[in-house]
Amino acid sequence: MPAWALSSRHQPAAGPAFFLALGAFLGISATLLASARQKYSPARKCIPSPLTTLLPNLTELEIASLPYPPHVLPGGRSVQTPYGTIRCFEWGREDGEKVLLLHGISTPCLSLGNLAEALAAKGCRVMVFDLFGRGYSDAPDPGEDGGVPYDLRLYTAQILLVLASSRLAWTGDDGFHLVGYSLGGGLAVGFARYFARMVRSVVVVAGGGLIKKGHVSWRSRALYSKGWLPEGVLQWLIKRRLTPRGKGDGRVTETKMATEVVDIKGMEHEDSDASGGHSFDNAVLLARRPEHTVSSVMGWQLRHHQGFIPAFVSSIRYAPIYEQKEDWYELGRQLAERRERSGWENTADDLPGLRGGKILLVLGASDPVIVKEELIHDATTVLGEDGFEAVLLDAGHELVMSKGAEVADVISNFWEQSQGDAEVTGT
């Protein structure tokens, strides 16, 4: 008989205490091992988009029937970058006024399709792209420690990467007009602050950046705070919070996403235009595809883009959404400097960009997310009365989708009126 067997014969039987101790030891060891692996293993560079995780498993017919097909807009391309792949679309007259459009915090660039097509019809060269973690763009992994925060620095880098990917020259003095919607409005102001010479004009449509933090509900403040739960658990809770459950049509609503950013009153009236409900969630993203609404695209994205929730959470924490007065004050100073120089002879070319010395604010009269009275008051404080022009449209926060052609008319009129030296083709 082997020595180890002989030895074991003389040991007392293991009792409950032994198994409890063994279980505790194995549990602690497993926890420490998992922690060590997480700490010392290289972090993911990015979370892949549906472009690589979903589309290879679908037929061409299935792809064409998606709420957001990858070629639904003209001039589509995938841009490889150190942060992951960016999905971009560029089309229109090559010699037309160049216009870059930035979408909001949750709906991908398809939300700008109507506006972009209307501007292209006016003779402009337009470019739109999915922000990181939305649509068909990869998501740089925010991580718990040492990840990539979704702040102005990341989004500014993404804008520059997209501009550099074009075969046409977009950068340089007076390179392009910049239009930002919702979160994109805050990004547009921040970008223009640092690259004022490059940006020919700035248009903010129902834009963030100056939203008061007091509009954030206590639930959102608590839920999006960092460190009180492991990030994976927190993201699971937020996804569960945003995903429809139980009976009904199972829609994922943009309105629900908006309540994560601001505390919208009256949300018990689900279909109220005043609350953003019916008009917001049922807005058609492209007039030529009326069967696909904001809700259908949001549901598709929430189900199939694993990087969406991490990007959404990090954007709420770090993106220029709330009280970004420093960026707006600095932009206001640069606008004032250009207005002053415009009266001097032979000096207009010494300080290119921001032609006319003002920006355009396009607002929805019934927008519950961007309160028109507050934004106009705050914009006056940081930009000055002469630093902006405001236009009010009869719409809610969905105005860029429901009134894309009208917004395009307002933008082209602004270019003509405030920038007489800028020749806008086709207007």
**How far is residue 368's CA from residue 263's CA, in Å, rounded to a whole number?**
9
pLDDT tier, 414 (very low <50, low <70, confident <90, very high otherwise): very high
Q: Of 20-24, 222-226, 367-371, which range is least confident?
A: 20-24
Q: Which residue has the higher pLDDT, 71 or 274?
A: 71
pLDDT of residue 187: 98
Is the CB of residue 124 less than 8 Å from the CB of residue 131?
Answer: no
What tens digit of pLDDT does each residue of 179-198 get? 999 999 999 999 999 999 99
Asked whether residue 86 is assigned to any structural domain, the reply reads yes
Pairing type for strands 359-364 and 388-393 reads: parallel
Asked whether residue 179 is assigned to any structural domain, the reply reads yes
Helix (H) or strand (E) holding 324: none
Asked whether residue 233 is assigned to any structural domain, the reply reads no
pLDDT tier, 270 (very low <50, low <70, confident <90, very high otherwise): very low
What tens digit of pLDDT does each residue of 227-248 get? 878 888 888 888 888 876 544 4
Q: Which residue has the higher pLDDT, 117 or 350?
A: 117
What tens digit of pLDDT does each residue of 118-129 get? 999 999 999 999
**How far is residue 168's CA from residue 376's CA, in Å, rounded to a whole number?**
36
Asked whether residue 389 is assigned to any structural domain, the reply reads yes
pLDDT of 11 strictly over 70: no
Residue 123: exposure state from Cβ atoms within 10 A (0-12, 13-18, ≥19)? middle
Percent over 90 (pLDDT), the chain: 60
Task: Count how many domains the chain has.
Answer: 1
Pairing type for strands 139-140 and 176-181 reads: unpaired
**How far is residue 39's CA from residue 354's CA, in Å, rounded to a whole number?**
46
Range(s) of the domain holding residue 119? 46-212+317-418
pLDDT tier, 426 (very low <50, low <70, confident <90, very high otherwise): very low
Asked whether residue 148 is assigned to any structural domain, the reply reads yes
Determine the Cα angle at 189 with ends 112 and 80, to 5°.
60
Q: Which residue has the higher pLDDT, 11 or 77?
A: 77
pLDDT of residue 280: 74
Q: Which residue has the higher pLDDT, 243 or 345?
A: 243
pLDDT of residue 113: 96
pLDDT of 21 strictly over 50: no
**How far is residue 189's CA from residue 320's CA, in Å, rounded to a whole number?**
9
Asked whether residue 183 is assigned to any structural domain, the reply reads yes
What residue has token string 């129902």? 206
**Closest residue by Cα to residue 261 from 290, 221, 227:** 221
Question: 329-333 contacts: CB < 8 A, separation 24 or more?
Answer: 329/382, 330/193, 331/189, 331/192, 331/193, 331/196, 331/202, 331/359, 331/383, 332/382, 332/383, 332/384, 332/387
pLDDT of residue 155: 98
pLDDT of residue 43: 45
Asked whether residue 277 is assigned to any structural domain, the reply reads no
Q: What CATH number has the domain bearing residue 52?
A: 3.40.50.1820
Q: Strand, coil or helix: what is 70?
A: coil
**How far is residue 176's CA from residue 147's CA, in Å, rounded to a whole number?**
32
Highest mean pLDDT among 20-24, 32-36, 406-410: 406-410
pLDDT of residue 253: 62
pLDDT of 136 strictly over 50: yes
pLDDT of 360 strictly over 70: yes
pLDDT of residue 348: 54
pLDDT of residue 13: 43
Sheet containing 125-129: give its strands across.
Answer: 76-81, 84-92, 125-129, 98-102, 176-181, 199-205, 359-364, 388-393
Asked whether residue 33 is assigned to any structural domain, the reply reads no
Residues near 299 by beta carbon (within 8 Å), at least 6 away in sequence: 67, 250, 251, 252
pLDDT of residue 345: 55
Is the CB of residue 142 less than 8 Å from the CB of residue 150?
Answer: yes
DSSP 259: H
Mean pLDDT of 281-295: 85
DSSP 253: P
pLDDT of residue 420: 64
pLDDT of residue 294: 86
